[in-house]
A and B are shown apart, each in its own frame.
Chain A
Amino acid sequence: MASAKRGLSKKAYYSRKVKRAAHLLFFRRHRKPGVKGWELRKKLGADYPKVLKLLDNYLARLDLKVNVVFEEGEQVQEEPIEKMKPEQLDKARFYITLRGDLTPTEAKMMGWRIDDIAGLAITISYIISRKGKVERKEVEKILKEKLPGWRAEANIDRYIRAGYITQDEKGFLYLDWRTKAEINQKTLVDLILGKEASPQSAD
């Protein structure tokens, strides 16, 4: 708070910091979106968790939120940012994500066909159920049950390019950074298991 001491009011100080944080988080600076905690500390100062909290409060009005993804890919939703350990936050990656749900129409406007989103849901939940590692052939087989063959393969490539999944040289698929940042994996699996099948398809 050296600036505040030099005459800048506390409100003006944090207002400037929140603007800077918004610039850092909204505009992509590296190959992957998002900013690492240590980078935020360098640019915003040691009290960056407080700045992020203020930004998060402001973004809530716009149905957006500051999301934290830890190194291991585990999202901590329950604990507020300012209460997390500094060393834990420094290694984490921060993103701006949507706070609420998207409607199918909004998803279409983002350039995703309904089949593509369904395919992504199947791919991710199947990888989760197989302990995070599954043969590409198996996923292709499941997708081909409801999608044309060429489309199933093209979709997997698209999910890889987007960073939702990744593939190793042996042809195994794994969850990638975007899934960890954007999707609540446990809720996804719970919802799929809890959802009743539609009467036509169940028959």
Chain B
Amino acid sequence: MSKTKTKKLGLEQLQRIIDLCSSVEERGLDPFLVDVDDIIRIVKEFFPFWKKPEELCLDAEAINRLASVIKLQGEWVRHRSTSLYTDPFLLGEKIQKLDNESLVEIFLKVWRPIVELEQISPHSFLEAVKYWSQLLPLEERWRMPEVSEFKAGAVSRSDLIKERFLDEKTFAERLEALWEELKNRVGKDEKMLYWDFIGAETFEETMWRAYFTSFLVTYGYASLEIYPFENKVYIKPNEKPVPLSKKRNVISVPFSISFEEWKKWRQQRGD
């Protein structure tokens, strides 16, 4: 027989083994219908021909199914050895011959029904009433949210900028501009008070400036000088950005920018 024909025959045999084992497993047939030794002999005989992954998978599947049948055989032997084992045919015969009255008589001798009660207590009744009175009507609970229909339209870039969805300048451009502004404003002292730099006409603008200033410091465009006893913080522009990695003793300084503080700063300025 040619190698191809042998392989084809082997694959058919494996498929047959899988089907046989599956039917024993699924239909609850006698597991001893399967001749384990014979199947192992067949699997062994064809194993050297399998090279492709799908052929090896089929071989593994057949072994797996056979293992399940062997497990069932073990269970079958265990069950037979227990006191619960009864020949189903004998029992079937007995059942057929017994009338309903006799069966009921037998069953009532071994039936011990569970005793249980279902009763509402005053406490649970009160709880239920309380819950009911607080429960909103279905009409209100299942009400759909009110939505109004509107026509979708196009939005221009300028509108998005206006609504603050987009920024007019890029992040880097904003940082550069703020750095230039800081360099121009410090004058001969080469530093200025932090609040004087971030403070603006509106609280919103102040927040924006504080946000970008934090990046100016982090990216090395500026440095902070903190005098805790005088309760003063100065900001000083660097000539060139100094990366954090080149600095020694880098620390994080949190600043609280509240509306009250902004108002106090405005009052101090005499606005």
Contact = CB atoms under 8 A, between A and B. Distances in A.
> Are A and B a genuine interacting pair, yes or no?
yes
A135 B27 contact: yes
B110 A191 contact: yes
B264 interface: no
Interface stretch (A13-21, A37-45, A79-87, A115-123): A115-123
B157 to A, nearest CB: 59
B87 A195 contact: no
Nearest to B89: A129
B104 A107 contact: yes
Given A97-B114, A104-B104, A195 B27 contact: no
B148 interface: no
A2 interface: no
A202 B96 CA distance: 9
Contact of A131 (B75, B103, B113): B75
B95 A67 contact: no
A200 B101 CA distance: 13
B116 interface: yes
B230 interface: no
A107 B108 contact: yes
Contact of A97 (B88, B91, B97, B113): B113
A183 to B, nearest CB: 6
Interface residues of B, number: 40
Contacts of B110: 183-185, 187-188, 191
Contacts, number: 148
B84 A28 contact: no
A110 to B, nearest CB: 7
B109 A191 contact: yes
Interface residues of A, number: 59
Given A103-B108, A121-B103, A192 B113 contact: no
Nearest to B28: A133
Interface string B60-94: 00000000000000011001000110111011101
A184 B83 CA distance: 13
A122 B114 contact: no
A193 B94 contact: yes
Nearest to B86: A129
Given A104-B105, A114-B104, A131-B79, A96 B116 contact: yes
Interface string B16-60: 000000000011100000000000000000000000000000000
Interface of B: 26-28, 75-76, 79, 83-84, 86-88, 90-92, 94-119
15 contacts: A28-B117, A97-B112, A102-B111, A107-B108, A118-B104, A121-B104, A125-B95, A129-B86, A131-B75, A184-B112, A192-B95, A195-B98, A197-B97, A198-B101, A198-B102
